[in-house]
């Protein structure tokens, strides 16, 4: 195979080859960046939550009648709901909650030791600490792991008129408020700390060491969520009956959704996932166009080269040589496309990073994408190449 | 060198069978320069295609340099073409995208020579046809005669047993045609075996041996003495062609 | 002559159907995908109230009561700030509001089932400021009336449609009189509430007088921030709870500066009484500025649109190289046509006529692809449901882009083909 001569002959068709090279380079650029987006999303989804997402059931509900505007009535119904739900076989614990881990917005508040309010001026995360208003059962729902002090008990439930609330906070929050000192018994603007629990994935958009949370033993009337921890394998059974159980306590509620923490996580990343899917769809189309292009170029380029192939055959090229000759051209274009493709990958990455969060391109996905394109290109060229190699050598002596 | 015995070549279409060659026999010895003439459609081209292993035949036996070619597969045929035959085509058949050098190089690549050997042969062949200085040119930058000389260099570079020329001067004006013919003669004097298909009777006459194909068969085989080259023994067909021209 | 060109074009297409099929397929894929995304961008970037978008201003204030260097002017303000804005007579119209929700039913119906209703608690000026289209009746006249205006959708759900002005509606257990019913009102984006991902929500089901909503402790359904504890929304009148938004309609630039002054004086008075610890920053953004500031056009879609634009380029390049081989194969015919006297220009026009026809065919297929891509987009990104609309404007763009793309892809092959020498091809 005379690569130099092939290269020179490609250079004579600069424009046509250039088109193919740019096309390949852009394809490569888009494919690699799309897969980066898709991989980013998968990585986020696979990041450990620190809680048992498959066995936590969430019910979203809203009261539809005006009666629920009476807090005492609303809370009485909520407690009855909880009792009924916990009585179901397979339920470990249930609590109302005004928010979920991993959500944008939510109920956040500021947090500081009563003697050190200025700490908020140096740490902006302390102004937006997620508050989980719930019963003490939330500790069982999330399987909170105690690090210091004690967990909340039912006697900690805050009642109107009580003076100080007992609270449990996460480890990173404790660390940022008190460093290595013990936090137990300390008084904050949100109450007295009785326990510190291990961090879990509460706010994925914040750094790993800022997974703050405060667990406050208080029921907010008409809380939007019920959280239910179920025994392994019981999820669907409970899911199927929970609406009826709640409505049997009092029917004037709109149960908007019953789902798992895993569904919630997926929904949180739905936008990223959706975007990644769109980019993957684009990739599929690009591969399709690459197939069309490789096939058509081999096909049409070859049809005008019939004579030349005939000459080659007459001068002693075997079928195999012709096959390799046609494929070699594809490979050479692919190689050039890959070279410029690396520039395209970086260019498109920079362009996309102006509009969304995207990781920097890495070597391995790039190499994989190049190989995939090369294989696809080769396969698409194969059929026309076989056809070409069947051109009989006798063509050489025919004029025109 | 080349021995065809009772070769038949039949083209079949749905309704008719055409005999392009019928019980065709011809023997060419090493060192001969044979001109093959004949009217259009007589089977000249078919003969050349069969002789050059470009096309198969239906019956008969063909020995090329001692090798019986019937029964050889495509790869073996390719190898034979590459090693034993040098082609010179009417329209040169150079690859337009390749330089002169790369064109001559092409058959050598399939031969599997190493770079040094190829270089030596290419330079030698181009020197022989007087185009050594033009090796970087593209075919389109050369005149027709020069292109045909490149094609001859390409045929020579592989040091074939036999040169097959198909109307080598058919696309050239008389001056260029003359140069090409002189080149072929001098190659023959150096020992090359040449079979040339032509319909130029003058060319047929200036070679040592001329055969005529009519209706797929050799009608007469003449051996001209060099001094009798001026004498004319035209067949009716050749006369007719001359008048037509 | 044009007729002849068109005829020739169809003949050419018939002669190499595979090649043209591939050209048309690639072009329509590229155009279709781009078009679908342009439809999304177009919906997101469109000006929902073009005749006065430059005269409507969103008010942001920096009245946060804790000293905090991180604080920027907030888009939400307190009840007292909103009332201060409402008091000014500089704007021709002022709208202050917050969003809530409740369940609604026909108060006189026997059926006790209720429909979920999104509520905007606001003042009468809201309707004039937003040009809300009334089908029946009109706006409530007082900010504390026990009256409501309802949207078309809820009117259908609760009353089965028609003129129901004067009927009673039950909301969260309270009874209100319907005084106005809106026509179907598509406002895309929902310019007056683009924050908290509300930009592509439908217009509300119920418009409730603001004071009435507070008196009835309607819940606050969008962002609220506070430095004081509060339990029910009626508490918020006196406390530092930030949850309302305000828009003003200012006729002249001089009104704008006058209103800015008005806000500044108000902030200054707060500062003097020690209630404004942070820097005085009050911002007025007109509709388009406000939408831009809040990234109403989803950056992800922009990024994807750029990618689809590149994809279209790839498709055009692909079509171009296909056509290049096609013209190369037709060298002889082109040479012949030139030899019998077709001028270079005529050959060019013929080529362009042909590619325009290809473009038109491609655009038709592209529209089908666009529709499919929009469906796929909604499937992948449900937030686009109210945005993915292929309107006439986008369709026209689609046809235009397809024709341009097709013509661009043919230009080089054409020029190249016309450069083949006549003699060389006919020898």
Distances (CA, A) of A120 to A117, A128, A204, C307: 6, 10, 21, 42
Task: Give percent of chain B with pLDDT exceeding 90.
Answer: 17
Reduced DSSP (H G I as helix, E B as strand, rest coil) percent helix, strand, coil of chain C, to 5: 50, 15, 30
The residue of chain A nearest to residue B51, with distances taken between CA atoms, is A394
**Residue-averaged pLDDT of chain B:** 83
B233, pLDDT greater than 50? no
C-alpha to C-alpha distance for C279 and C261, rounded to whole angstroms = 15
Give the minimum alpha-carbon distance from B72 to chain A in angstroms, rounded to a whole number.
13
Distance of CA C20 to the CA centre of its chain: 37
Look-up of token digits 């692909």: C318
**Which C-chain residues 193-232 have CB contacts (< 8 A) with chain A?**
196, 217, 219, 223, 231
Whether the upstream peptide bond of residue C189 has omega within 30° of 0, thus cis, is yes
Q: C85 with C248: CB under 8 angstroms?
A: yes
pTM: 0.79
C-alpha to C-alpha distance for C104 and C114, rounded to whole angstroms = 5
- In chain A, the number of structural domains is 2
Chain A CB contacts of C25 under 8 Å are 292
Give pLDDT, residue C128.
95
Beta-carbon separation of A297 and C320 below 8 A: no
**B72 reaches A (C-beta below 8 A):** no
Of the residues A260, A295, A325, which one is the last residue of a structural domain? Answer: A260
Averaged over C2-11, what is the pLDDT? Answer: 84
A75, pLDDT greater than 50? yes
Q: A23 with A336: CB under 8 angstroms?
A: no
Give pLDDT, residue C335.
72
- ipTM score here? 0.81
Q: Count how many Cα atoms sit within 13 Å of the Cα of residue B185 in the half-sphere of its side chain.
A: 14
pLDDT tens per residue, range A129-160: 999 999 999 999 999 999 999 999 999 999 87
pLDDT tens per residue, range B66-120: 889 888 888 888 888 888 999 898 888 888 888 899 889 888 888 888 889 999 9
Q: If pLDDT is split at 50, 70 and 90, which confidence band does B242 have? A: very low
Give pLDDT, residue A69.
85
CB-nearest to A281 from C69, C376, C412 is C376
Beta-carbon separation of B107 and A316 below 8 A: yes
Q: If pLDDT is split at 50, 70 and 90, which confidence band does C368 have? A: very high
C380, pLDDT greater than 70? yes
**Are residue A208 and residue A89 in the same domain, yes or no?**
yes
**DSSP H or E segment with residue C97:** strand C93-106
C182, pLDDT greater than 70? yes
Q: Count how many Cα atoms sit within 13 Å of the Cα of residue A99 in the half-sphere of its side chain.
A: 20
Q: A397 with B54: CB under 8 angstroms?
A: yes
Q: C324 with C412: CB under 8 angstroms?
A: yes
Beta-carbon separation of A285 and C307 below 8 A: no
**Are residue A122 and residue A247 in the same domain, yes or no?**
yes
Q: If pLDDT is split at 50, 70 and 90, which confidence band does C158 have? A: very high
Mutation choice for A interface testing from B95, B113, B171 by most A CBs within 10 A: B95
pLDDT tens per residue, range C316-339: 998 988 888 787 777 777 777 776
Give pLDDT, residue B220.
66
Q: If pLDDT is split at 50, 70 and 90, which confidence band does B228 have? A: very low
Kindly tell me the sign of the dihedral angle through the C-alpha atoms of B227, B228, B231, B236. negative
The residue of chain B nearest to residue A1, with distances taken between CA atoms, is B109
Beta-carbon separation of C300 and A297 below 8 A: no
B231, pLDDT greater than 50? no
Q: Is residue A265 part of a domain?
A: no
The residue of chain C nearest to residue A301, with distances taken between CA atoms, is C325
Averaged over A275-286, what is the pLDDT? Answer: 88
C-alpha to C-alpha distance for A183 and A195, rounded to whole angstroms = 8
Q: A319 with A389: CB under 8 angstroms?
A: yes
B230, pLDDT greater than 60? no
C-alpha to C-alpha distance for B75 and B69, rounded to whole angstroms = 12
* Closest by CA position to C388, among listed A278, A284, A49: A278
Give pLDDT, residue A1.
61
Averaged over B205-210, what is the pLDDT? Answer: 86
Give pLDDT, residue C427.
42
Averaged over B202-209, what is the pLDDT? Answer: 85
Give pLDDT, residue A315.
86
Chain A CB contacts of C409 under 8 Å are none
**Are residue A94 and residue A155 in the same domain, yes or no?**
yes
pLDDT tens per residue, range B27-79: 999 999 999 988 887 888 888 888 988 888 888 999 998 889 888 888 888 88
Q: C197 with C157: CB under 8 angstroms?
A: no
Q: If pLDDT is split at 50, 70 and 90, which confidence band does B226 have? A: very low
Q: C143 with C214: CB under 8 angstroms?
A: no
Coil, strand, or helix at residue B181? helix
Give pLDDT, residue C420.
63
Against chain A, the chains showing at least 3 CB pairs within 8 Å are B, C
**Are residue A240 and residue A369 in the same domain, yes or no?**
no
Which residue ranges form the domains of chain B, and what is each CATH number?
31-53+75-244 (3.40.50.300)
C-alpha to C-alpha distance for B54 and B37, rounded to whole angstroms = 19
**Are residue A86 and residue A225 in the same domain, yes or no?**
yes
**Are residue A307 and residue A230 in the same domain, yes or no?**
no
C-alpha to C-alpha distance for A348 and A354, rounded to whole angstroms = 10
pLDDT tens per residue, range A78-119: 999 999 999 999 999 999 999 999 887 788 888 999 998 888
Q: If pLDDT is split at 50, 70 and 90, which confidence band does A208 have? A: confident
Chain A CB contacts of B166 under 8 Å are 397
In DSSP terms, A170 is beta-bridged to A197
**Are residue A13 and residue A57 in the same domain, yes or no?**
no
State which residues form the domain around A117: 53-260
**Residues 6+ away with beta carbon under 8 Å from B4:** B24, B25, B26, B27, B50, B51, B60, B61, B62, B63
Beta-carbon separation of A315 and B45 below 8 A: no
A199, pLDDT greater than 90? yes
**Residues 6+ away with beta carbon under 8 Å from A163:** none
**Are residue A198 and residue A130 in the same domain, yes or no?**
yes
pLDDT tens per residue, range A306-316: 888 888 888 88
Kindly tell me the sign of the dihedral angle through the C-alpha atoms of B123, B126, B132, B136. negative
* Closest by CA position to C226, among listed C74, C7, C112: C74
**DSSP H or E segment with residue A196:** strand A191-197
**C302 reaches A (C-beta below 8 A):** yes
Beta-carbon separation of A316 and B99 below 8 A: no
Give pLDDT, residue B225.
46
**Residue-averaged pLDDT of chain C:** 89
Averaged over C145-172, what is the pLDDT? Answer: 94
C-alpha to C-alpha distance for A112 and A48, rounded to whole angstroms = 29
**A3 reaches B (C-beta below 8 A):** no
Of the residues A240, A260, A280, which one is the last residue of a structural domain? Answer: A260
The DSSP code for C108 is: T
**Residue-averaged pLDDT of chain A:** 89
**Are residue A280 and residue A216 in the same domain, yes or no?**
no
Averaged over A185-206, what is the pLDDT? Answer: 91
Domain boundaries, chain C: 2-47+297-426, 62-281
* Closest by CA position to B73, among listed B56, B49, B48, B59: B56
Residue C224 has which token pair?
A: 């609220």
Beta-carbon separation of A318 and B74 below 8 A: yes
C254, pLDDT greater than 60? yes
**Residues 6+ away with beta carbon under 8 Å from C80:** C237
Beta-carbon separation of C103 and A15 below 8 A: no
A43, pLDDT greater than 90? no
B243, pLDDT greater than 50? no
Give pLDDT, residue B234.
44
Mutation choice for C interface testing from A64, A103, A305 by most C CBs within 10 A: A64
Averaged over A257-262, what is the pLDDT? Answer: 94
Chain C CB contacts of A352 under 8 Å are 303, 306-307
Query: How many CB atoms are located within 10 Å of the residue C209 CB?
Result: 24
**Are residue A304 and residue A357 in the same domain, yes or no?**
yes
* Closest by CA position to A310, among listed A392, A398, A399, A400: A392
**Residues 6+ away with beta carbon under 8 Å from A11:** A17
Kindly tell me the sign of the dihedral angle through the C-alpha atoms of A310, A316, A319, A320. negative
Look-up of token digits 């050239």: B172
**A304 reaches B (C-beta below 8 A):** no
Kindly tell me the sign of the dihedral angle through the C-alpha atoms of B158, B161, B167, B173. positive
Of the residues A241, A260, A279, which one is the last residue of a structural domain? Answer: A260
Kindly tell me the sign of the dihedral angle through the C-alpha atoms of B141, B142, B144, B150. negative
pLDDT tens per residue, range C396-416: 999 999 999 999 998 888 888
Residue B80 has which token pair?
A: 């034979």
**Are residue A311 and residue A387 in the same domain, yes or no?**
yes
In DSSP terms, B196 is beta-bridged to B35, B165
Give pLDDT, residue B240.
46
Gyration radius of chain A's alpha carbons: 32
Report strand pairing: C245-249 vs C93-106.
antiparallel
Give pLDDT, residue A231.
95
Beta-carbon separation of C300 and A356 below 8 A: yes
Q: A94 with A219: CB under 8 angstroms?
A: no
Give pLDDT, residue C425.
47
A237, pLDDT greater than 50? yes
pLDDT tens per residue, range B167-183: 888 888 888 888 889 98
Distances (CA, A) of C380 to A271, A276, B164, C376: 8, 9, 67, 6
Mutation choice for A interface testing from C17, C316, C317 by most A CBs within 10 A: C317
A381, pLDDT greater than 90? no
Chain B CB contacts of A7 under 8 Å are none
The DSSP code for B40 is: T
C-alpha to C-alpha distance for A330 and C319, rounded to whole angstroms = 17
C-alpha to C-alpha distance for A337 and A333, rounded to whole angstroms = 6
**Are residue A248 and residue A292 in the same domain, yes or no?**
no
Beta-carbon separation of A394 and B49 below 8 A: yes
Beta-carbon separation of C26 and A289 below 8 A: yes
Give pLDDT, residue C330.
75
C-alpha to C-alpha distance for A82 and A228, rounded to whole angstroms = 9
Beta-carbon separation of C380 and A277 below 8 A: yes
- For chains A and B, CB pairs below 8 A equal 88
Beta-carbon separation of C114 and A64 below 8 A: yes
């Amino acid at each position: 195979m005379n690569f130099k001569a092939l290269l020179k002959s490609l250079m004579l068709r600069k424009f046509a080859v250039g088109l193919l090279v740019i096309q390949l380079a852009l394809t490569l650029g888009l494919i690699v960046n799309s897969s980066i987006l898709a991989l980013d999303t998968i990585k986020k989804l696979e990041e450990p939550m620190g809680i048992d997402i498959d066995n936590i059931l969430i019910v979203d509900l809203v009261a539809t009648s005006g009666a629920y505007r009476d807090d005492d009535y609303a809370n009485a119904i909520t407690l009855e709901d909880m009792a009924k739900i916990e009585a179901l076989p397979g339920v470990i614990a249930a609590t109302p909650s005004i928010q979920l881990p991993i959500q944008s917005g939510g109920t956040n508040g500021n947090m500081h030791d009563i003697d050190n309010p200025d700490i908020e001026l140096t740490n902006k995360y302390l102004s937006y600490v997620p508050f989980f208003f719930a019963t003490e059962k939330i500790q069982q729902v999330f399987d909170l792991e105690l690090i210091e002090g004690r967990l909340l008990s039912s006697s900690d439930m805050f009642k109107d008129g009580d003076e100080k609330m007992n609270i449990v906070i996460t480890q990173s929050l404790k660390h940022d408020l008190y460093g290595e000192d013990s936090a137990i018994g300390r008084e904050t603007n949100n109450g007295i700390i009785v326990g510190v629990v291990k961090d879990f994935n509460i706010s994925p958009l914040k750094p790993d060491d800022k997974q703050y949370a405060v667990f406050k033993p208080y029921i907010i009337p008409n809380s939007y969520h019920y959280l239910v921890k179920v025994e392994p394998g019981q999820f669907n059974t409970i899911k199927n009956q929970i609406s009826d159980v709640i409505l049997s306590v009092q029917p004037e509620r709109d149960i908007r959704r019953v789902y798992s923490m895993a569904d919630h996580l997926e929904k949180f990343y739905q936008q990223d996932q959706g975007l990644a899917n769109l980019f993957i769809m684009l990739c599929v189309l690009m591969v399709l166009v690459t197939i069309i292009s490789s096939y058509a170029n081999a096909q049409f380029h070859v049809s005008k080269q019939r004579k030349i192939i005939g000459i080659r055959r007459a001068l002693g090229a075997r079928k195999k040589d012709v096959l390799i000759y046609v494929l070699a051209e594809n490979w050479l274009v692919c190689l050039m496309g890959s070279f410029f493709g690396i520039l395209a990958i970086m260019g498109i990455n920079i362009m996309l990073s102006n509009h969304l969060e995207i990781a920097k391109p890495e070597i391995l996905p790039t190499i994989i994408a190049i190989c995939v394109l090369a294989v696809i290109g080769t396969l698409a060229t194969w059929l026309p190449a076989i056809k070409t190699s069947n051109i009989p050598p006798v063509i050489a002596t025919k004029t025109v | 060198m080349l021995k065809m015995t009772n070769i038949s070549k039949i083209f079949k279409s749905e309704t008719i069978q055409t005999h392009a060659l019928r019980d065709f026999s011809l023997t060419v010895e090493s060192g001969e320069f044979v001109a093959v003439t004949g009217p259009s459609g007589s089977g000249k081209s078919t003969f050349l295609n069969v002789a050059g292993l470009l096309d198969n035949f239906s019956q008969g036996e063909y020995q090329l340099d001692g090798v019986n070619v019937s029964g050889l597969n495509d790869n073996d045929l390719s190898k034979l073409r590459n090693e034993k035959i040098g082609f010179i085509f009417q329209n040169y058949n150079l690859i337009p995208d390749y330089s002169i050098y790369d064109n001559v190089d092409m058959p050598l690549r399939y031969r599997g020579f190493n770079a040094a050997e190829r270089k030596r042969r290419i330079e030698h062949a181009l020197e022989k046809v007087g185009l050594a200085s033009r090796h970087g040119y593209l075919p389109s930058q050369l005149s027709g005669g020069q292109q045909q000389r490149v094609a001859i260099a390409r045929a020579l570079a592989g040091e074939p047993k036999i040169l097959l020329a198909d109307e080598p001067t058919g696309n050239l004006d008389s001056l260029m045609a003359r140069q090409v013919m002189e080149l072929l003669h001098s190659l023959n004097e150096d020992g090359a075996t040449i079979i040339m298909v032509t319909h130029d009777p003058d060319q047929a006459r200036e070679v040592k041996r001329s055969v005529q194909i009519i209706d797929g068969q050799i009608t007469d085989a003449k051996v001209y003495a060099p001094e009798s080259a001026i004498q004319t023994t035209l067949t009716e067909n050749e006369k007719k062609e001359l008048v037509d021209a | 002559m044009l007729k002849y060109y068109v005829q020739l074009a169809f003949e050419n297409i018939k002669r190499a159907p595979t090649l043209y099929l591939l050209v048309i397929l690639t072009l329509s894929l590229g155009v279709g995908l781009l078009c679908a995304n342009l439809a999304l961008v177009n919906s997101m970037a469109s000006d929902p109230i073009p005749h006065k978008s430059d005269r409507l201003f969103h008010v942001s204030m920096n009245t946060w009561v804790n000293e905090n260097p991180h604080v920027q002017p907030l888009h939400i303000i307190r009840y007292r700030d909103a009332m201060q804005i409402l008091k000014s007579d500089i704007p021709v119209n002022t709208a202050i509001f917050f969003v809530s929700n409740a369940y609604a039913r026909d108060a006189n119906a026997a059926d006790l089932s209720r429909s979920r209703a999104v509520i905007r608690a606001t003042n009468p000026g809201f309707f004039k400021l937003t040009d809300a289209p009334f089908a029946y009746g009109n706006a409530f006249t007082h900010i504390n009336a026990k009256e409501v205006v309802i949207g078309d959708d809820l009117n259908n759900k609760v009353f089965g449609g028609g003129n129901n002005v004067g009927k009673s509606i039950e909301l969260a257990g309270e009874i209100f009189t319907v005084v106005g019913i809106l026509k179907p009102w598509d406002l895309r984006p929902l310019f007056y509430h683009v924050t908290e991902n509300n930009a592509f929500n439908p217009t509300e089901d119920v418009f409730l007088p603001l004071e009435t909503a507070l008196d009835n402790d309607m819940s606050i359904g969008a962002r609220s921030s506070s430095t004081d504890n509060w339990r029910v929304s009626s508490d918020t009148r006196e406390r530092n709870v930030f949850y309302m938004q305000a828009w003003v309609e200012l006729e002249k630039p001089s009104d704008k500066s006058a209103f800015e002054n008005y806000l500044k004086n108000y902030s200054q008075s707060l500062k003097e009484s020690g209630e404004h610890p942070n820097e005085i920053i009050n911002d007025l953004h007109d509709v388009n500025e406000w939408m831009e500031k809040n990234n109403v056009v989803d950056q992800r879609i922009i990024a994807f649109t750029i990618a689809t634009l590149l994809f279209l380029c790839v498709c055009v390049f692909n079509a171009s190289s296909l056509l290049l081989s096609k013209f190369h194969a037709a060298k002889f015919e082109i040479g012949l046509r030139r030899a019998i006297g077709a001028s270079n220009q005529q050959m060019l026009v013929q080529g362009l006529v042909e590619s325009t026809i290809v473009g038109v065919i491609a655009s038709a297929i592209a529209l089908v692809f666009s529709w499919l891509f929009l469906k796929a987009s909604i499937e992948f990104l449900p937030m686009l449901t109210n945005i993915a609309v292929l309107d006439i404007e986008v369709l026209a763009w689609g046809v235009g882009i397809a024709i341009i793309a097709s013509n661009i892809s043919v230009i080089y092959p054409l020029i190249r083909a016309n450069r083949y020498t006549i003699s060389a091809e006919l020898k």
